Amino acid sequence: MQKTNHKNVTQQTEKKKLVSVLQYLCIQFTFIFACCSTCFADQGSSGPKYAEDGARWLLEQLFWVAIVVIVIIMIKCAVARNTVACVVTIIVGAGICFFIKNPSIFTTIGTAIANAVGLQ
């Protein structure tokens, strides 16, 4: 009995270490993308549109941060063998990433709701 318990504890420790390493690599990957997009951004189009360019850049970085968070959550769910949580994470994450990439959809949704309620 003692050996089996020690083996389970060792496996759990190894899984936790693997998750920590994968989380670290995902965070590093995000920082690399952020640095590359900052360094290699189109310098010619950043004239007087600083706010618009800044907002676009922020949304691009937010997209990659969301991807990393989704991957980290999915890794934790996979280690715990929680299939339902993985599926929910994919669906919710895809929705969040869709809204980050298409922020104008909020205007469309708001207009549709206003028309349905009769405010316009």
Q: What residue ranges in the chain does DSSP mark as E strands?
A: none
| Direct distance between the N- and C-terminal alpha carbons of the chain, in angstroms, rounded to an integer | 72
* Pairwise CA distance, residues 105 & 120, whole Å: 18
Q: Which residues fall within 8 angstroms of residue 83, CB to CB, at 6 or more apart?
A: 77
Counting the structural domains of the chain, the total is: 1
pLDDT at 1: 47
* Pairwise CA distance, residues 70 & 62, whole Å: 12
Mean pLDDT over the full length of the chain: 77
* Residue pointed to by tokens 């970085």: 61
Q: What DSSP designation does 44 have?
A: G
pTM: 0.54
The CA–CA distances, whole Å, from 34 to 19, 30, 39, 52, 65 equal 23, 6, 9, 18, 9
pLDDT for 70-82, tens place per residue?
888 888 888 888 8
Domain that holds residue 72: 2-117
